[in-house]
Amino acid sequence: MSTVTEEASETTEPKTNKWVYLFDEGPGDDKTLLGGKGAGLCEMTQAGLPVPPGLVVTTEACNAFFENDKHFPEGLWEQVQEGLKRIEEKVGKRFGDPKNPLLVSVRSGAAFSMPGMMDTVLNLGLNEETVQGLAEQTGDLRFALDAYRRFASLFGEIVMGVAHEKFERVLDRFKAQTQGGRDTDLQSDDLREIIAAEKQIILAEQHAIPEDPYEQLRVAIKAVFNSWMGRRAIDYRRVNRIPDSLGTAVNVQAMVFGNMGAGSGTGVAFTRNPSTGKKELYGEYLLNAQGEDVVAGIRTPHPIHELKKELPEVYDQFASIAGLLEQHYGDMQDCEFTIERGKLWMLQTRTGKRSGAAAVRIAVEMVYEKLIDKATAVKRVTPEQLDQLLHPTVDPKTNATVLATGLPASPGAAQGQVVFSPDEAEEMAREGKRVVLVRLETSPDDFHGMVAAQAIVTARGGMTSHAAVVARGMGKTCVSGANALNIDYGQQQFTVDSAVITKGEWITVDGSTGRVFLGQVPTIQPTLGNDFYKLMTWADHFRRLRVRANADTPLDAKTARQFGAEGIGLCRTEHMFFGDQRLAAMREMILSEGVGAREKALEKLLPLQRGDFIGIFREMAGLPVTIRLLDPPLHEFLPNAEELGNELAELKMKLKGAGTLIDMDHVLDEIDHKRALLRQVNRIREANPMLGFRGCRLGLLFPEVTRMQCRAMFEAACQVQGERKKVELEIMVPLVSVSEELRQQSELIHEVARQVMGEHGMTIEYLVGTMIELPRAALMADRIAQHAQFFSFGTNDLTQTTFGLSRDDSSRFLPNYIERKIMRDDPFQVLDRDGVGQLVRMGAERGRSVKPDLKVGICGEHGGDPQSIAFCNEIGLDYVSCSPFRVPVARLAAAQAALNPAAEETISAQV
């Protein structure tokens, strides 16, 4: 009867999950389940390489741990204990045995490499009894005590949360009392005292190291799980776009000891140089040491090639294994090893982190070595790595003071003396000085200072603010939204906490990370060699999307062509009005009353615009050039009303102190001029200018503006075509929301085209299209397409108007939204697929339902973002357009999107 009951109960019990795999049974190709480290250990073990036996607690167990209110899921602890028995059988030692103890390491290991972000405990299993057993087992009391003091400090720090510095101070105090001042000079008595002091530190914080080795292991596994949700790990995942849901595995492995004398040691090595990509063993080692000694810098390690002199057989064996691993994985490996009394043990292999230059070189060379094919090479280099190659970067070895961190608005690194005025920036640059322009925010009035500066830093604004967009277009380093900066123009200084930085002091700006450093920090200059161009050629072969550039000047166009742009997707004509002479004429036009006065001012701008277009057409040599008609609100070209008011107040004060009638007349004239200007500024002031009188609305009410711009385009096209050079012109009407707006502007464009072509006796091929940047335009795209030959999605404004967000002001709260996971990404950096993306998809589909051959592209800042490019590829757009310096990144991302059509989400998160 009882047998039947037992059988029945067995059949109804749920099957226990498999939470634990031994190294000799785990699926080595499943990094998602076993983590990168665990998968590598399993694969090396099953290949017959010398790996200390161990087990992997899966990432699924980690996720179950958090789902179970930080308690082990059912069956996990029992499986760990059973796995330990199997390890004991393999090594001939027993966990917790006072005579023949087995010690283990407990290490984290996520699917994506996160070096230094999570926790490790070594020598676990030691207590007052087993340390004596270890001494007898090895015949070396000093070694056993050294292992115990290492365990006590690691366990206290990692598992119990005691500050590392407290243990470090104890160690330093005892080392200082030795003749050599090194940890290897400590004697047994010293080590006993250190262990006692470490235990006292732990006890002072209301903790104690468990004497039971199994309890040590249980809480250590929990500590590694908890480290997955530690602040540094969360921050790392957010920066590298690694999902929180992956979890970490835990590797429990039999200890082998590198601190057993001169014939023992530990090291880390890459199969290729991770900085340059050169094919050579690159790494470091220490004799008579354990793993953390190399990483922590307790002693100065030696270059790996010196191991060939000290332990030649071990070096040759390691070099051979490293080569085998690289061949097996088809990628550069990062290997950890320990030497125990002359025997080599492999503790880890994983895909090695590398610089952008190394990534490109390794990918290309491995194709020629027949380790990988061209498609794999293209997929392997991340867009972020390629971006590193295009800009100077701050030397990663620097320990300089970080003053503030903002948004990485435009990559690269630059140094200069702080200035707060664009005029001063220009003046100092003329004198040969390098400057960094620091502003609350920038405007078109600041353009000359931005050109003169090495870098730009703003306290306000986002990734698509004026400073960010202009800086990226120029390839200029920029950090925006550095909210910690308190800028005082009057005192010519900014403060961050207690630090005060005055005009003329040196700072270094890292636009790739958003950091602002104090002083002159060393930078590394990029070099584009044959490997870069070869990789780009392969990328171009695989991609479907065309890649254009946003370029506003002939110099921008030239830069874009050098980086492989296949046309200009956005030429912003308003950027041509920057500069003193042009801005003065533009202001004259804006402030004019009546058509005649406006036309007179526009006559001054016509030759300037024509000259710019001529230069751009020549540089693009027959490739398509999309020129957008004037788009921004007119107030952007005028002085700020508040600043004008302040200037008036200053002039009135100056009037009181005027010494002569001539001085008074001069000041009065200035006052009259400023008052008139302020009246005009107030006259055209709008409550919400970004949704006001701008774009096609300006062209419809002031048709003379559209007429002048189109005449400049067609006259330029006629001149360049007369030089027997091809011109492919596309004219884009901005901010259309009603089809009739586009129809009327198109009629005016065609009218001007007929006039100019008639005057020159030439025919110019051109297209007229529109920028889809309002939700209504996307919804009504089928009607708008009746008057358009192409669409270009302006996703900057489309994101603003869809979310109801100001891209300049949202930097105050968007980082908090992302941190709290209200949003996954900043929608101004990564296209919002679910909302804005659906409008783009809908607009393209509805437009093509009327005109199947409608050319459709994207020209917002998203055109240079890899995830957004993948979405554009998925929905069948024809091209993307981005800043000139992002063109290579876009070419690579477009190729990766074509090669990985089902994996667009992971493109920027590749390791």
Least Cα distance to 426 among 399, 387, 453, 389 occurs for: 453
Rounded to 5 degrees, φ, ψ at 449 are -70, -35
Marked catalytic residue, from 859, 862, 872, 882: 859
466 is catalytic: yes
Amino acid at 234: I
Whether the CB-CB separation of 392 and 416 falls below 8 Å is answered with: no
Tell me the DSSP string of 123-177. EET--TTHHHHHHHHHT-HHHHHHHHHHHHHHHHHHTT---HHHHHHHHHHHHHT
C-alpha 608/C-alpha 603 separation (Å) is 9
Amino acid at 733: V
Radius of gyration for the alpha carbons in the chain, expressed in angstroms and rounded: 33
Residues facing residue 456 across a β-bridge: 437, 478
Least Cα distance to 118 among 227, 195, 193 occurs for: 227
541 is catalytic: no
Cα dihedral sign, 208-211-213-215: negative
CB atoms within 10 A of CB 297: 9
CA 360 to chain centre: 18
Rounded to 5 degrees, φ, ψ at 436 are -120, 120
Rounded to 5 degrees, φ, ψ at 800 are -60, -50
Whether the CB-CB separation of 304 and 283 falls below 8 Å is answered with: yes
The four Cα atoms 421, 423, 427, 428 give a dihedral, to 10 degrees, of 10
Angle between helices 164-176 and 141-158 (to 10 degrees): 150
Tokens of 28: 């080595």
Whether the CB-CB separation of 124 and 105 falls below 8 Å is answered with: yes
Whether the CB-CB separation of 395 and 415 falls below 8 Å is answered with: no
Tell me the DSSP string of 513-571. TTEEEES---EE-----HHHHHHHHHHHHH--SEEEEE--SHHHHHHHHHTT--SEEEE
Given the structure tokens 């399993």, which residue do they identify? 42
Stretch (H or E) spanning 403: strand 402-405
Q: How distant, in Å, are the alpha carbons of 27, 135, 250, 255, 618 from that of 221?
A: 21, 26, 7, 16, 65
DSSP 52: -
Tokens of 72: 């082990």
Q: How distant, in Å, are the alpha carbons of 114, 118, 826, 903, 908 from that of 238?
A: 12, 15, 12, 19, 12
Whether the CB-CB separation of 815 and 879 falls below 8 Å is answered with: no
Angle between helices 661-684 and 580-591 (to 10 degrees): 70
Given the structure tokens 């292999």, which residue do they identify? 349
Tell me the DSSP string of 346-398. EEEEEEPP--HHHHHHHHHHHHHTTSS-HHHHHHHS-HHHHHHHHS-EE-TT-
Tokens of 610: 């024509």
Marked catalytic residue, from 302, 391, 448, 466: 466
Least Cα distance to 556 among 544, 540, 573 occurs for: 573
Tokens of 323: 């080569």
C-alpha 846/C-alpha 851 separation (Å) is 9
Catalytic site positions: 466, 859
